[in-house]
Structure 1
Amino acid sequence: MSDLTGGANSTLFQDGNVMQVQNALVEEVYTPDSRTGYVRISYSFPGEREMIFTNLLQLNVNWNTILINQYNESISLCRILKGMTINAWFSPDFTNSTPPQTNAYRIVAFLPAPNVRVLVDRIASIDDQNGFLYVGNPNNMADQIRFTISNLTQILDQNNNPIPLNILQPGQMIRVEYGDFETASIPPQTPAFSIKMITY
């Protein structure tokens, strides 16, 4: 891996036929469908006499682009906003436009820490294979929340001992800490930060 440019805020590398930028600043985001579009970024590099220069680059996002946050969770393009910081992997084939454009392979967005909400309710169902836990009315999907369970989700029994997801059962009362953002789906979906069993 060779360091092509570097600066106080961001660094651009080339690793074989893949380029990578770290700590780039998001200048603009465009998406017609929350999954495709582009992210326009700026990154710094040093010039002569300790001067710092800034380049703009447009990263084109398609359905094959991996979009995740710093916790390795999938996100939509509309979650990336102007002023955020991202790491990105992209093609070294740039257009001659201003700013130059290239296709993004992977973007990691550093999202601000969400506000934490707390819900105490009964488990409606569990999809252990896909890592989903449904809470609310088991007979009405519109009255449920689907929590996504990752390896960062802390799951505890009544005595605060860590347990696997498959120990939990429908009908049990649990306390869930989760983020203040949800998808617009039915049921709405959001990552669970922690789950604690209240009753067996």
Structure 2
Amino acid sequence: MKAWNKLLLTTTAVTLLALPLSASALSSVNATGPVPTAKVIENKQEAAEQAGTKGLLEQIVHTKKGSQVFVKGEGLRPIDQDTIILNVTNSVPVVDQHGNPADLLEALQQEWTVTAYYNPAITKSLPAKGNAEKFVVERPEVKAMVSTGIIDSTGKDRVVMVGDSKIVLNMSEETVITDKNGKALKQSDLKAGQRIEAHYGPMMTASLPPISPAQKIVVLGETSHVEGVVGKDMSKDAKSIYIDTAGDKKMENDMILHLNEDTSIINIVGTPVKPEEIKKGTKVAAYHSLATTFSLPAQSSAYVIVVLPEPVK
């Protein structure tokens, strides 16, 4: 069989030799305009009984008579074609595996697998030529993103989480909320300072901070919150941060927070901050473990450190 190259051609670039079709096949061919999309697909049982080829789109061509799609792969049944040229009309359904509208040009460009169903009345040429009845595009599944952070604030149907970055999570009736043991919780159970595992996306705005729909939130536990000024310059390899919480230089009001590979340091919009950029006098807010020593100053492990902006003078 002839191998067809993957490219989009126009009528000025390519002229296809028309191959004869049966009378019943010709009666349904009147394709014009761009490659179509559709909103519905017939049931799977009916699709399984149709002639079909599953594989990749090799070429889409627009001619004076309409659109033609070149499919190369494997026939669904022993009698079906491994390579076929299909005439496409605007009434042909083009959907993904979930029944959502899809696009053949995108499938061609992304090299997504496509199942093409067609009328069994086809030519005896090589490759055979026929009339398409539906296309199912296997669009890759996009999984939700998962990250751990601290609830910075809550509002009506939204949660602001800080961690490796800052993100606004929009809540809905579909958002699942549980504790770490799987017990169901309500949105009203979410409080600032809680450490959570958030499942969100795949859609996300390009704003700062980004906004994304929350699919699931798991409450991992509580944290403590402290604010103050940094008491000492930090170095690139700093293992801790010294915070003067009262600004009075009294050790009993200070706190040392230990840093580890899971500690996030960001600014108020969620952009990462390097430790060496934090100097003495920098204002910070920090979320840390509930486990705190009785030493002077007290010590704990930091989850998230947020560098606060300097006041406008």
- TM-score under structure 2 normalisation? 0.29
Greater fraction strand:
1
Rg (Cα) greater in structure: 2
- TM-score under structure 1 normalisation? 0.42
The higher-RCO structure (CA 8 Å, 6+ apart) is 1
